[in-house]
Amino acid sequence: MSSPISSLNSLSQMPALAAIKPKSEEPAGEVNFQQLLMDSLSQVNQLEHQAQSNVEARLLGENITSSEVYTSLRKADLAIKMMMQVRNKLVSSFQEIQQMRM
C-alpha cells in the first residue's frame, strides 16, 4: 500500500503558478468594472431591440413564430430586471458607504 505522502512528490513536477500567464491583457484578479457594466448594458439594449423587432416582424406577418417572439420578450424582460437589481445593489452599496464614519 502506498503512502499518501509519497503521492505528493508528483506535485513538484507541475509547472509553477508564476509561469502560467492569464490570457487577458489585465493582471490576474483585476476586472474593469466600468467596461463590464457597459458591456452588460449594451447586451440588455441589444436584447430589447431584438424583442422589439421580433414583435414588429410578427405583426407584419413575416416568417416568425409566436414562441420566438415570446422567448425574445422574456429574455429582454429578464435582462432588464437583472440590470435593475444590479442598479439597486449599487445604489444601496453607495448609500451604505456614504453612511460610514471615518
Q: What is the pLDDT of residues 37-46, one digit of tens each?
A: 999 999 999 9
Q: Which residues contact 60 (CB under 8 A, 6 or more apart)?
A: none
Neighbours of 96 (CB within 10 A): 9
Q: What is the pLDDT of residue 51?
A: 96
Environment class of 62 (CB within 10 Å of its CB; exposed 0-12, middle 13-18, buried 19+): exposed
Cell numbers placing 99: 453612511
Residue 21's pLDDT band, with cuts at 50, 70 and 90, is: low
Cell 431584438 appears where? 50
**What CA–CA distance (Å, rounded) separates 67 from 37?**
30
Name the pTM for this structure: 0.63
Share of the chain above pLDDT 70, in %: 72
